[in-house]
Structure 1
Amino acid sequence: MTSLSQAACLFLTAALILIFRRAKQHSLESEEAIRLPPGPKPIPILGNVHQLPQEYQQRTFGEWGRTYGDVVYAHLFRTPAIVLNSLRAARDLMDKRSCNYSGRPRLTLLVELMGWDSVITHMPYDSRWRKHRKWIQEALQCKDALLSYRPLHRRETYIFLSSILDKPDMLLSHIRRYAAAQVLDFAYNHKVTSLDDKLVQLAERATTETVLAGSPGSMLVDFFPILRHLPDWLPGAGFKKRAMGVREHVRRMLDTPYEMVKSSIVAGTAATSFTASRIEEASRAGLLTEEEEVDIKGAAGVLYAAGTDTTTAVLSTFFLAMVLHQDAYKKAQQEIDSVIGQDRLPDFNDRASLPYLDSLVKEVLRWNCPVPLSIPHTAAVDDEYRDYHIPAGVMVIPNLWAMTQDTTLYCDPEHFRPERFLQDIPGREVPIDPKEICFGFGRRKCPGLQFADASIWFLVANAVATLDIVKAHDASGREITPAASFISGFVSHPKPYECHIRARSEKTAALISEMLMVYTT
């Protein structure tokens, strides 16, 4: 390190320490005068960050909840934060007072450096956010629109079933293709035949690089935005170079499919899609400005970025759960056999007649909440809750994992028990549907909930009807029992596992081939 670099580092360190000390002193003086929710004791500069592990932070937040209550106050460096560990608190604040709790904290790394500024999940709560929300709601929540997607769900499910019988050792790849194919068809009318597809590769590169570049060290810039102005040559500023690399991948992910659709409109060959509809509507109104194009790209791109990874996590969790809980899988097969028989495959109109299967899907969501910690919200103005003061600007973190593991909501939450959701005893109170938790709260609730729910239910129903999912065997013929363990991260995927998948019978295999031909020719 040169003497100039050393001097710059020393100066920056000294300046930051002075700023932190003054900010800490002011914060402590302010907090003494008001009643904040309880929480772990912070230390200067770090706050409570030193008490958080780099992995599975939702578990530590949950432990804080058991110690201090379901509403916990903490400091992440100099940023005040409130962790919500209960469904009641989340509903009270983010549902009932959604006007105050729909903001986002400043996401310097993702938005300002990596370029994820045009996607609704990261936007502040403003007119631009409302425009994107309106677009997505019209496309994904209208009853007629949802019905129009059913042929898409059917086609991709039958392709999945045929693929898994052809190559049963590639389960995760088939799941990822299934999730990607539906979103890319809906967003751009782009048909995906394999994971080698160009648009899939672009999207996966952008999302993967985002995760890799968002290490805890890099994310310091979210708590100290001044760090984004560090010279690239300064030691410790490597995160900026990595972020700029991600920015290029994000740009290509958003631009490439948009230009593809725009070109097809000019050529007169465009089919119906979310992007085509938005372009044509803006063009007719004379509003297809550069700014509007950025918004359309972002609205379409977030559908892939937000929907594909979570759907993959839920479906891979389903297969893992069925390997480990054969009794639940057999019950679901018996229900389908008794209600539908073996001469056809399940369809959407059968859902109300399959309560155990519906309960099984709910339990998969609850057993491994796909997004353990929701993207933080912020409070727009000061608020009071349970005699506690909630300061304006505080970061609000919903601990979705803690809610799905709450013993006051779910008896024996560590156990996989679909029966908990059955109304089999008159007068018995059925637990909260995990969809009321796992898809978020208030005005930030996932607008694609119904699309995702239909996609997941239909594949699960047809997998149960047509496949046997059992434990794999090692070279000595012994059964391999996978661990019920999950990767730490924003999305909770099962750790790699093995299983054996085969058709239940020659008849079910023939049914799959028959339906595949109907929906792909």
Structure 2
Amino acid sequence: MLDSSTILTLVVVVLVVHYVLADRYPRPQNLPPGPRPLPILGNAHQMPLEYAEETFAKWSSQYGDVVFVKVFHRPVLILNSARAVRELMEKRSMKYSGRPPSVLLSELSGWGDVLGVMQMGERLRKQRRWLHSVLFAEGALDKFRAVQRTEVNVLLVSLLRKPDDYAAHLHRLTASLMMESIYGHTVASDEDEYLHYAEAALKGTTEVASPGAAIVDILPFLRHIPSWMPGAGFKREAAEVKVSIEEAHVRPYEMVERAMAAGDDKPSLVRNLIDECAGRGNLAEERRDIMSAGAVSYIAGVDTTKTVLLNFILCAVLFPEAYSKAQEEMGRVVGTARLPDLNDRDTLPYLESFLLEVYRWHCPVPLGVPHAASEDDEFRGWYIPKGCMVIPNLWLLTLDEELYPEPESFRPERFLGLSAEDAERLDPRNIVFGHGRRICPGRRFADVSIWLAVANIVAAFDVRKAQDADGKDITPPLAFVPGSVSHPRPFKCSIAARNVAMELLADLNPCAVYGARPYQLPFFDEVLT
């Protein structure tokens, strides 16, 4: 056996030789501007592991809205303006809809057959059509309204009884909505078997795809090093997570097949796809892709939706005047005899503006999901090499002073009274849900679910700063977790039912849709029947 110093020396030698000889991307003089690279490393030493969006924003003031860097051999293009993002990722979407190859996710972890990491092609277009038909098409969403209403009712009852656990309640809401819409499965307990499979895959993927582990995507040959070798912990972790990911693919799918065989006719994404493919006689060939479409929909939808709702709670606490205006509008338009529903959305413009400002105020996915150039290109006279990773700094786009004056301020009024053209141009949902042919196919389902939860919290609860033992307000810090999805760090707040809503909350019965089946409320001992 070699000692650790010898192994380290060998790795360094291999790195030097491999990337001196295999540097496939020469640096012409007309590449976009960017920080000066070092030999072999490129700009790897300048790429932050946390809050990269802030570093990229600083580079924008020095190099402009298009910044080129090189991480070892990999070219990376950072887009720091809405104009640059539109010109490349939308107007030239044919060239900029690829994905950077990911050894970690595709080969080591088992996500290689999902649309999030899949390259452009018929298989990807097929999966996007599937998701669009169920989670985006206007008529298709109607079949989920009863489920959304019921799950929001459960949220309200949970907030009433255990308001301090608001973050857990919001997570349960988003997880349950995704399980219902994807698999037609009602999550009736925190110990739900199928929720466990999905949550294990979500947690494992988040942990294994940490910035340190992602080095294998920059240096792909590292996938060949033995898993016992020092520094190869990412391989051992990925192998463990792969088991969870496979279970998240297979087990919920098999549950849907059993339910269908037993005569269950609840609508869901997976059920629709099984019926469609069985009708064409090609279910056996499409079975794995249906599993993949279901699994990735859950992983992609839960954390991002929860993050928006957590941001909403934080904004309600920090900006009480705006929250009070939303409550005043709710009382004036909807009244106090019922809770708001989706039919009320168009009649609540200030609430709509409040939610748009939540989307804008802190982008839930700061750097989106990277794209890749599928061929050499020229942009503004610069050379963009084939395979170049393209990162849109969505966080900076939502803080663009030209689009959103005083971007650090929380001002829902900025979205009121706009022309149809300006409303479309300034809508932050056109930023945070992605761009071009990779835009989130479930964005309409997510937005409807978020609005319904937000509207009902506004109607039913006062959300304020918590108080310490001396009766002084506790102001939550503006602190967000770094990573691909950035949500607020845990904070204390006061969530109390409004007097006008107490009777409505007392009458809620989340079991109405579930029939006679008991519903175990999260974090409580009692069973709601």
Unaligned runs of 5+ in 1: none
Correspondences of 1:246-325 after superposition (within 5 Å): 246-289=241-284, 291-325=285-319
Comparing 204-213 with 310-319, greater Cα deviation is found at 204-213
Query: Match of 2:41?
Result: 46
Deviations, residues 321-374 of structure 1 (Å, cap 9, x unaligned): 101110010000111111122122222222122111001001111111010011
2:78 to 77, 83, 86: 83
> Is 2:381 the partner of 1:387?
yes
Deviations, residues 102-153 of structure 1 (Å, cap 9, x unaligned): 1001011011100111221111111110110111111122221112222222
2:91 to 65, 89, 96: 96
Tell me the amino acid that sits aligned with residue 46 of structure 1: L
Tell me the amino acid that sits aligned with residue 17 of structure 1: V
Query: Match of 1:111?
Result: 106
* Residues 225 and 510 of structure 1, relative CA distance in 2, 3 Å threshold: same
CA contact (8 A) 2:368 2:391 kept: yes
CA contact (8 A) 2:157 2:508 kept: no
Query: Match of 1:398?
Result: 392
> Is 2:145 the partner of 1:146?
no
Correspondences of 1:115-194 after superposition (within 5 Å): 115-194=110-189
Query: Match of 2:18?
Result: 19
Correspondences of 1:192-271 after superposition (within 5 Å): 192-271=187-266
2:27 to 7, 25, 31: 31
Comparing 269-278 with 228-237, greater Cα deviation is found at 269-278
Query: Match of 1:331?
Result: 325
Distance in 2, Cα, partners of 1:316 & 1:65:
29
Query: Match of 1:452?
Result: 446
Identity %: 45
Tell me the amino acid that sits aligned with residue 494 of structure 1: P
1:373 to 367, 373, 376: 367
Distance in 1, Cα, partners of 2:93 & 2:418:
35
Comparing 74-83 with 467-476, greater Cα deviation is found at 467-476
Comparing 272-281 with 321-330, greater Cα deviation is found at 272-281
Please state how far the C-alpha of 1:457 moved relative to its aligned partner.
Answer: 0.8
Distance in 2, Cα, partners of 1:208 & 1:140:
24
Comparing 220-229 with 336-345, greater Cα deviation is found at 336-345
| CA RMSD in angstroms, aligned pairs only | 2.0
1:69 to 42, 59, 64: 64
Query: Match of 1:462?
Result: 456
1:149 aligns to what SS in structure 2? helix
Unaligned runs of 5+ in 2: 516-529
Relative to the length of structure 2, the TM-score reads 0.93
Query: Match of 2:526?
Result: none
Please state how far the C-alpha of 1:268 moved relative to its aligned partner.
Answer: 3.1
Deviations, residues 273-292 of structure 1 (Å, cap 9, x unaligned): 21122123222322122x52
* Residues 159 and 427 of structure 1, relative CA distance in 2, 3 Å threshold: closer
Distance in 2, Cα, partners of 1:164 & 1:366:
26
2:155 aligns to what SS in structure 1? helix
Query: Match of 2:501?
Result: 508
Please state how far the C-alpha of 1:193 moved relative to its aligned partner.
Answer: 2.8
Where has structure 1 moved over 6 Å in runs of 4 or more?
424-431
* Residues 160 and 392 of structure 1, relative CA distance in 2, 3 Å threshold: same
Distance in 1, Cα, partners of 2:423 & 2:182:
40
2:76 aligns to what SS in structure 1? strand
Deviations, residues 395-447 of structure 1 (Å, cap 9, x unaligned): 11111101011112111111211111111799998961100100000010001
* Residues 426 and 386 of structure 1, relative CA distance in 2, 3 Å threshold: closer
Please state how far the C-alpha of 1:98 moved relative to its aligned partner.
Answer: 0.8
CA contact (8 A) 2:309 2:450 kept: yes
CA contact (8 A) 1:410 1:431 kept: no
Deviations, residues 23-44 of structure 1 (Å, cap 9, x unaligned): 45x74xx323x51111111111
Distance in 2, Cα, partners of 1:426 & 1:223:
44
Please state how far the C-alpha of 1:475 moved relative to its aligned partner.
Answer: 2.2
Relative to the length of structure 1, the TM-score reads 0.94
Tell me the amino acid that sits aligned with residue 452 of structure 1: A
